[in-house]
Amino acid sequence: MQMTPAMHKVALLKLLFVMANGVGSFAAIFMQRHFGLEEGELATTVALMIICYRAGNLVGGHLSGRLGSRALLLATSVIALASLSASLLPVWQLLSIGLILTFMFSAGLVTPLFSVMTARAAEPDDQVGAFAYLHLASNAGGVMLFVVGGLLLSWSSQYLVWFAVATSLVCLVTSALLPLPALETVPRLGSLGGRAGSGPIPCVVIVAGALFLGVSLLDGQREYQFPLWLGALDIGDSARLFAVAGIVNGLLVIVLTRPLIALTRRWSPMDNLALAALSYGIGFGAYAFVDGWLPILLFVGIWTLGEILGTTYMATLIAQRAPAARQGMLFSLIPVLQAGARVLCVGIAVPMLAGLGYNGAWAVFGIGGVLFGGICLLLHRYFSWRQSEQSR
């Protein structure tokens, strides 16, 4: 994957903004330690954090077509810096939680912009590689965040907030000084024909979105059930264990993205989304049968394959098949679909854990993922075969 200079700048900004969202990455453990929330309160607060982040995604998707990229980057950094700094003051707990939620909203604002910038900065014949590179940059930032953030959180939750404040300041300065990709050089949408206009969204994009929603429901386990399960295993400090799993996940993304994309790009995005569901089902379902640290990390590698495939090919399908005037809105819907699935995941996981325990819950999600991915893969292959037969 040979990237353009503009794409390198997009990747650098993505890395920095990922590192600034330590509060969101460690949401469940951070809120539990920082505010001493009980299980019910914790589940509600984590769900609110996800909702605020995805609401920011929706607003950001709308603004990315109306504001310049630098203006949106600077606004996001200023809001994040102000809300995090204010949350460190000795204020009422509910107000402090509200400031954290404001930060999550601001963090979500800028996410769709990176996808729009990638679609414009990428070479037309290598959009799969460009979106894979963006995901790789995101995970490189995630690895550094889990290394530093996991250590800071194991000492004190306030240290993680201070780190987020410092990183937000770096984002502000970088957004102000870094030469950004000249997106204005792209032809105006009104002058473009075909895909670039504001025509209807193709059915394949809508179907892929439904499939991606199912994949995101499986992915949601790593943000809520996975860290709590690590704490229940009593094999070490849950914050450090979760950080190590995050580091392994990020390193695997960095190592596996290029060969995995090279292997799977010969298949359609729909096939790869179904394979993502299979990977999540196998990776998470296996946790019903293991409790040792090495097997846990081994299956992190399995569900990491699902993460790479799901994120890369959903974004690629939008860039290739959706009208350019609608791409900002559609890119903002990717994290919104993830949010809806993860909020649903928390709602499902709480009663499921109470009734079945961790092993039973892992088994249910594992079987569901394998069945869902397998059925979608077979159905897509069947309809593709029918279409080819009819075209003869």
Tell me the pTM: 0.70
pLDDT of residue 124: 67
Give dist(CA 130, CA 121) in Å, integer: 8
Residues 64/180, Cβ–Cβ less than 8 Å: no
The domains located in the chain, with CATH, are 5-177+202-387 (1.20.1250.20)
- For residue 174, the one-letter residue type is T
Give dist(CA 25, CA 46) in Å, integer: 11
Please give the C-alpha separations between residue 297 and each of 243, 271, 365, in angstroms, as whole numbers: 12, 26, 18
pLDDT of residue 103: 93
pLDDT of residue 17: 93
pLDDT of residue 198: 56
- The size of the chain, in residues, is 392
Angle of CA points 188, 113, 242, to nearest 5°: 160
Give dist(CA 29, CA 19) in Å, integer: 17
Give dist(CA 89, CA 92) in Å, integer: 9
Query: Residue 74 contacts by C-beta under 8 Å, 6 or more apart in sequence?
Result: 172, 175, 176
- Kindly give the confidence (pLDDT) of every residue in the chain, 392 residues in length, as a single tens digit, with 9 standing for 90 and above: 567 777 888 899 999 999 999 888 788 788 888 888 877 788 888 888 888 888 888 888 888 767 778 888 999 999 999 999 998 888 888 898 999 999 999 998 888 888 888 877 777 667 778 888 888 888 788 888 878 888 888 888 889 999 999 999 999 999 998 887 655 444 444 433 444 445 677 787 888 888 888 888 888 888 778 888 888 887 777 777 887 888 888 788 888 888 888 888 888 888 888 899 999 999 999 999 988 888 899 999 999 999 889 888 888 888 777 777 777 778 878 877 877 787 788 788 888 888 898 899 999 989 999 998 888 888 878 777 777 777 76
HEC states along the chain? Answer: CCCCHHHHHHHHHHHHHHHHCHHHHCHHHHHHHHHCCCHHHHHHHHHHHHHHHHHHHHHHHHHCCCCCHHHHHHHHHHHHHHHHHHHCCCCCHHHHHHHHHHHHHHHHHCHHHHHHHHHHHCCCCCHHHHHHHHHHHHHHHHHHHHHHHHHHHHHCHHHHHHHHHHHHHHHHHHHHHCCCCCHHHCCCHHHCCHHHCCCCCCHHHHHHHHHHHHHHHHHHHHCCHHHHHHHHHCCCCHHHHHHHHHHHHHHHHHHHHHHHHHHHCCCCHHHHHHHHHHHHHHHHHHHHCCCCHHHHHHHHHHHHHHHHHHHHHHHHHHHHHCCHHHHHHHHHHHHHHHHHHHHHHHHHHHHHHHHHHHHHHHHHHHHHHHHHHHHHHHHHHHHHHHHHHHCC
pLDDT of residue 182: 54
Nearest one of 10, 7, 34 to 22, comparing CA atoms: 34
Task: Return the structure tokens found at 156.
Answer: 């004190």
Give dist(CA 178, CA 5) in Å, integer: 12
